[in-house]
């Protein structure tokens, strides 16, 4: 039976690889705020934030988050709305809810401190193998791999691994490879070196192989097959969903906001009213209402009839379309046509009336931020 390439590396080669790789990291490592010390709380929060989010986006969020919730106890005891507001714009809000649930576990079971064993770390809400490996290796020196997409890309090229990284079953292959080459003396630095190499040099497209500190060890480089790896099957395209959004203003210059259900997508977030429609209805409205520039709200531009939406709302709608926004979730792609209307009635059972100056007190998901930006961009001083 043919052995795996990493099993053929003698101890001397592994040692040389680790020495050269860590020397490069010590010289070139990124200056990131969660690397100032080995505080497991800071490492944990940064790793959760970095899931599905770019490093340069996370930095400012991380600083603000640490100011708001400087300790695990502060995080555990914070009102959920305050937590979600601090997370606003990062998306994937279940991450924020999970870290608070984990913080409560830590407060109840571990005196508000991160445990030092891998099994205990893994028992916390929202912490999977990668995050546990990062915390365990960086904070506590455990020789545990932290395997994410960057690491799988580096390792797949290093050993020409043919397994599909999109399949969960492939993770065990990368785990075995990483356990062979990871430094037992500096596992945290080794994992972070892998992260930095994957983000800066061993990139998905056009890897900078001439600058790579482990070029001499890389099978893909030797065979000139860098672009063949990693092998990744295409994931299913997000499902298209179509909505109409109503920006409704009353005579007190307040706007109607509605809160999402406490479970599911965008749980407990606030948005302008939305109504789901079919693709055919959406296309018909898009053709009927020209997305022209905003004009004065005058008699010939309004209708007592809603534009085929929100028919139970006592609203006078403008006959023009403010515009269209879209937003992609991991599994859904929202398409939203945006209309503006006015009302003299508050119909409070339908939502909450809020002045624009108070919007900052509410947790807005990214789609709502796009809706608000569209409204603000279309509004002129004369209209206001």
pLDDT of 248-278, one tens digit each? 999 899 999 999 998 889 988 999 999 999 9
- Dihedral (C-alpha) 194, 198, 199, 200: value to the nearest 10 degrees? 100
pLDDT of residue 309: 65
pLDDT at 350 over 60: yes
Closest listed residue to residue 243, CA positions, set 271, 215, 204: 271
Residue 102 makes CB contacts below 8 A (sequence gap 6+) with 124, 125, 126, 127
Residue 278: CB atoms within 10 A of its CB come to: 9
Higher pLDDT, 315 or 119: 119
pLDDT of residue 236: 83
Residue ranges of the domains in the chain? 5-228, 239-378
| pLDDT above 70 as % of the chain | 92
Higher pLDDT, 294 or 371: 371
pLDDT of residue 62: 97
pLDDT of residue 284: 87
Rounded to two decimals, the pTM is: 0.82
Closest listed residue to residue 64, CA positions, set 43, 77, 46, 80: 46
Strand partners, 244: 275, 337
**Mean confidence (pLDDT) of the chain:** 90
Domain 5-228 has CATH 1.10.620.20: no
pLDDT of residue 294: 41
Range with lowest mean pLDDT among 79-83, 120-124, 235-239, 336-340: 235-239
- Mean pLDDT of all residues in 313-338: 90
Phi first, then psi: what are they for 53, rounded to 5°? -140, 140
pLDDT of residue 243: 96
- Mean pLDDT of all residues in 170-186: 96
pLDDT of residue 290: 60
| Positions marked active-site | 47
CA distances from 41 to 62, 101, 376 (A): 12, 14, 39
- Mean pLDDT of all residues in 80-86: 94
Phi first, then psi: what are they for 258, rounded to 5°? -125, 140
- Mean pLDDT of all residues in 347-371: 90
Reduce the secondary structure of the chain to three states and give it as a string.
CCCCHHHHCCHHHHHHHHHHHHHHHHHHCCCCHHHCCCCHHHHHHHHHHCCCCCHHHHHHHHHHHHHHCCCHHHHHHCCHHHHHHHHCCCCCCHHHHHHHHHHHHHHHHCCCCCCCCHHHHHCCCCCCHHHHHHHHHHHHCCCCCCCCHHHHHHHHHHHCCCCECCCHHHHHHHHHHHHHHCCCCCHHHHHHHHHHHHHHCCCCCCCCHHHCCCHHHCHHHHCCCHHHCCECCCCCCCEEEEEEEEEEEECCCEEEEEECCCCCCCCCCEECCEEEECHHHHHHHHHHCCCCCCCCCCHHHEECCCCCCCCCCCCEEECCCCEEEEEECCCEEEEEEEEEEEECCCCHHHCEEEEHHHHHHCCCCHHHHHHHHHHHHHCCCCCC
pLDDT of residue 291: 55
Domain 239-378 has CATH 3.90.79.10: yes
pLDDT at 122 over 60: yes
Residue 188: CB atoms within 10 A of its CB come to: 24
pLDDT of 100-117, one tens digit each? 999 999 999 999 999 999
pLDDT of 303-317, one tens digit each? 544 456 677 778 888
Q: Enter the tokens of residue 61.
A: 């969020």
Q: How confident is the model at residue 349 (pLDDT cuts 50, 70, 90)?
A: low
For tokens 């508050």, the residue is 346
pLDDT of 148-159, one tens digit each? 999 999 999 999
pLDDT of residue 343: 87
């Amino acid at each position: 039976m043919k052995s795996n390439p990493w099993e053929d590396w003698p101890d001397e080669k592994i040692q040389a690889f680790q020495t050269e790789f860590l020397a490069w990291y010590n010289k070139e490592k990124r200056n990131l705020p969660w690397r100032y010390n080995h505080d497991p709380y800071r490492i944990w929060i940064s790793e959760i934030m970095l899931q599905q989010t770019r490093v340069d986006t996370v930095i400012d969020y991380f600083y603000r988050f640490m100011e708001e919730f400087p300790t695990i106890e502060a995080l555990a005891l914070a009102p959920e709305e305050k937590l979600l507001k601090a997370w606003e714009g990062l998306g994937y809000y279940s991450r924020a809810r999970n870290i608070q649930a984990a913080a409560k576990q830590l407060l109840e079971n571990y005196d508000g401190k991160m445990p030092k064993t891998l099994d205990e770390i893994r028992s916390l809400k929202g912490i999977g193998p990668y995050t546990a490996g990062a915390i365990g290796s960086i904070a506590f020196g455990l020789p545990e791999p932290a395997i994410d997409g960057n690491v799988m890309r580096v390792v797949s090229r290093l050993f020409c691994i043919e397994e599909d990284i999109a399949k969960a079953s492939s993770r065990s292959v990368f785990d075995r490879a990483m356990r062979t080459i990871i430094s037992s003396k500096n596992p945290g630095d080794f994992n972070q070196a892998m992260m930095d190499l994957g983000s800066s040099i061993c990139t998905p497209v056009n890897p900078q192989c001439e600058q790579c500190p482990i070029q001499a060890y890389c099978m893909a480089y030797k065979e000139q097959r860098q672009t063949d790896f990693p092998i990744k099957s295409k994931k299913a395209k997000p499902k298209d969903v179509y909505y109409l959004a109503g920006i409704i203003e009353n005579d007190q210059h307040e706007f109607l906001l509605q809160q999402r259900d406490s479970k599911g997508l965008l749980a407990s977030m606030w948005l302008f009213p939305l109504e789901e429609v079919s693709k055919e209805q959406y296309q018909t409205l898009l053709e009927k209402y020209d997305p022209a520039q905003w004009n004065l709200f005058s008699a010939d531009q309004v209708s007592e009839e809603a534009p085929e939406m929100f028919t139970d709302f006592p609203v006078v709608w403008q006959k023009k379309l403010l515009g269209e926004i879209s937003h992609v979730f991991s599994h859904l792609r929202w398409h939203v046509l945006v209309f503006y209307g006015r009302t003299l009635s508050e119909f409070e059972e339908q939502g909450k009336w809020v002045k624009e100056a108070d919007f900052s007190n509410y947790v807005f998901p990214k789609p709502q931020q796009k809706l608000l930006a569209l409204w603000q961009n279309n509004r002129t001083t004369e209209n206001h």
